[in-house]
């Protein structure tokens, strides 16, 4: 499928950890990802981290450390897990080099404290427009939500590599 995506002119390919023959270590996972990414080396590659569905749960910042030299087209991670510390470490890894999309809708409010980049979201938020999303962020800023949550220096300009607006994503 990765080869087909590249030949079709798609922007990116992504993969989730195998759920049947689970990788035993981070190194095995990165090796598996590198093989898939190499098949479509002309498009960007995302890893979909969703331990609740795969049963594979390694530190993603450790995965980035090992993968950044082995997967040249690695763009980032769709991070669908509750470990906000690991998420934050991924967001700040190498100065924010990678696109770390927030994927756990149930804790979106907690994620907003970290100025998350939202990836494609599922219902009921699928139909949210960019304007609605910006309105929510604006209202939270207006009431001092982000300052109240610690006042630490947030990532104010996310380095999202995706060229798609939230409203353009089709599920």
Domain ranges of the chain: 2-168
pTM of the entire structure? Answer: 0.72
Taking residues 128-150, report their average pLDDT: 73
Contacts of 12 (CB under 8 A, 6+ apart): 5, 43, 44, 45, 46, 75, 162
Compute the average pLDDT of residues 137-165. 56
pLDDT band for position 32 (cuts 50, 70, 90): very high
pLDDT for 163: 45
Q: Hey, which CATH number is domain 2-168, 2.70.170.10, 3.40.50.410, 3.40.50.920, 3.20.20.70?
A: 3.20.20.70
Across the beta sheet with 117-118, the strand order is: 12-16, 44-49, 74-79, 99-102, 117-118
User: What's the mean per-residue pLDDT of the chain?
Assistant: 79
Exposure string (b/e) for 77-114, b if CB count within 10 Å is 16 or more? bbbbbebbebbbbbbebeeebbbbbbbbeeeeeebbbb
Residue 65 has pLDDT above 90, yes or no: yes
Q: Kindly list the catalytic residues.
A: 48, 78
The mean pLDDT of 11-40, rounded to a whole number, is 94
Q: Which residue has the higher pLDDT, 116 or 117?
A: 116
How far is it, in rounded angstroms, from Cα 107 to Cα 122? 13
Average pLDDT over residues 130-139: 77
pLDDT at 114: 73
Nearest in space to 59 (alpha carbons), one of 48, 72, 49? 49
- Is the pLDDT at 93 greater than 80? The verdict is yes
């Amino acid at each position: 499928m990765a080869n087909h995506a590249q030949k079709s002119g798609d922007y990116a390919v992504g993969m989730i950890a195998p759920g049947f023959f689970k990788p035993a270590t981070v190194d095995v996972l990165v090796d598996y990802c590198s093989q898939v990414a190499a098949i479509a080396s002309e498009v960007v590659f995302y890893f979909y981290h969703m331990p609740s569905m795969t049963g594979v749960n390694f530190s993603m910042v450790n995965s980035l450390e090992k993968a950044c030299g082995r997967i040249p087209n690695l763009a980032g991670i769709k991070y669908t897990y509750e470990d906000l510390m690991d998420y934050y470490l991924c967001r700040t890894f190498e100065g924010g080099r990678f696109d770390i999309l927030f994927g756990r809708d149930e804790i979106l409010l907690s994620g907003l404290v970290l100025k998350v980049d939202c990836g494609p979201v599922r219902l009921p938020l699928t139909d949210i427009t960019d304007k609605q999303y910006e309105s929510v962020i604006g209202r939270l800023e207006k009431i001092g939500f982000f300052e109240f949550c610690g006042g630490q220096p947030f990532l104010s300009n996310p380095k999202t590599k995706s060229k798609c607006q939230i409203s353009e994503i089709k599920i």
